[in-house]
Amino acid sequence: MRKTLSLGVVAGAVLALGFVAPASAATGNAQLSVLHGIPDTPVDVYVNGDLTLDDFQPGDLAGPLELPAGDYEVALTAPDAADASSPVLGPATVTLAAGGNYTAVAHLSATGDPTLTPYQNDVAPLGAGEGRLTVRHDAAAPAVDVLAGGAPVIEGLTNPGESTLTLPAGVISASVAAAGTTDPVIGPADVDVREGALTIVYAWGSLEDGNLALATQTIEGLHSNPSGVPSGSGGQLAARDAGAQSLVLAGGIALAAVAAFATTRVVRSSRSTR
């Protein structure tokens, strides 16, 4: 059995195996991460026909890879496939813009079909003492509410939507419930919203199959100048009243491009709510 490629090997493969920008690519690089959110389905990931992620397991997050801006063709195959000629998902053409930061998520649609959603991560500078939290619904489940301290802070989020909050840095006890309810289907779990960082929480898996799970990605270095002030921890969001919470429910969101995934059906790529 092959081993999962390390990030360094992946990056090397990207550069050495011809994963290069087309002639029309814009000047500059983009950053790409890939999350595997399809339960019980290990895959291999090919980019421009080259094996880039080997034996990629559900729940794994790879990257970020720094890549030249441009278009790339991504295909997913069964593990140990000889090449990308018989993909189980894709190939899909994805576009990276110069300076962009992306996460491509292979996951289940609301109805349980494997699909790919490319997200663009909001890496705009944050104010001192602030962190950014993005929640993405990538699970085979109906609309959900995200609760903090038992109160909804994000309501009616549907697959493959996302919502972003800018918050004081700290630890939030968060859970996910069916929209309009407060009985958690995921969590509660502590989410560390770091000062000067984007914390992305993905809900993935299947409600019907009872394998819902959370995955977390953190992107550091979003401090504005001056960088950081002392900030508290421990349930600031929970302590905030519902009115104040609703005011911060306007967030950066995003869009964009990349990756692909597998099982037995080919799926579409789609996008998020704001």
Length of the chain: 274
Query: Are both 29-121 and 123-224 of the same fold?
Result: yes
Q: Tell me which residue has tokens 């720094």.
A: 66
The pair of three-digit structure tokens given for residue 198, joined into one six-digit string: 């984007």
Q: How far apart are CA 232 and CA 222, in angstroms?
A: 18
Could you say which of 2.60.40, 1.10.3470, 1.10.3210, 1.10.4030 is the CATH number of the domain covering 123-224? 2.60.40
What letters, b where the CB count within 10 A reaches 16 and e where it falls short, cover 23-33? eebeeebbbbb
Find residue 268's DSSP bridge partners. Answer: none
Peptide bond into 160 cis (omega under 30): yes
Per-domain residue ranges for the chain? 29-121, 123-224
Q: How many CB atoms lie within 10 A of CB 189?
A: 14
| 70-77 and 61-68 strand pairing | unpaired
Q: Which CATH architecture has domain 29-121?
A: Sandwich (2.60)
Q: Is 114 left (phi over 0), alpha (psi -120 to 50) or beta?
A: beta
pTM of the model: 0.73
Amino acid at 232: G
The pLDDT of residue 128? 95
Q: How far apart are CA 59 and CA 61, in angstroms?
A: 7
Amino acid at 57: Q
> 3-class SS at 7?
helix
Q: What is the pLDDT along the chain (274 residues), one digit of tens a residue?
A: 333 333 333 333 333 333 333 333 445 899 999 999 999 999 999 888 999 899 999 999 999 989 999 998 888 899 989 999 998 878 887 889 999 999 989 899 999 998 888 899 999 999 999 999 999 999 999 999 999 888 899 999 999 999 999 999 999 999 999 999 999 988 899 999 999 999 999 999 999 999 999 999 999 999 876 544 444 333 333 333 333 333 232 222 222 233 333 333 333 333 333 3
The pLDDT of residue 226? 58
The pair of three-digit structure tokens given for residue 114, joined into one six-digit string: 């494997």
> 3-class SS at 35?
strand
The pLDDT of residue 27? 53
> 3-class SS at 163?
strand
* Cα end-to-end distance, the chain, whole Å: 42
User: E-strand spans in the chain?
Assistant: 29-37, 43-47, 50-56, 61-68, 70-77, 89-96, 101-108, 114-120, 130-140, 144-148, 151-157, 162-168, 170-178, 184-193, 198-206, 213-219
The pLDDT of residue 35? 93
Q: How many CB atoms lie within 10 A of CB 265?
A: 10
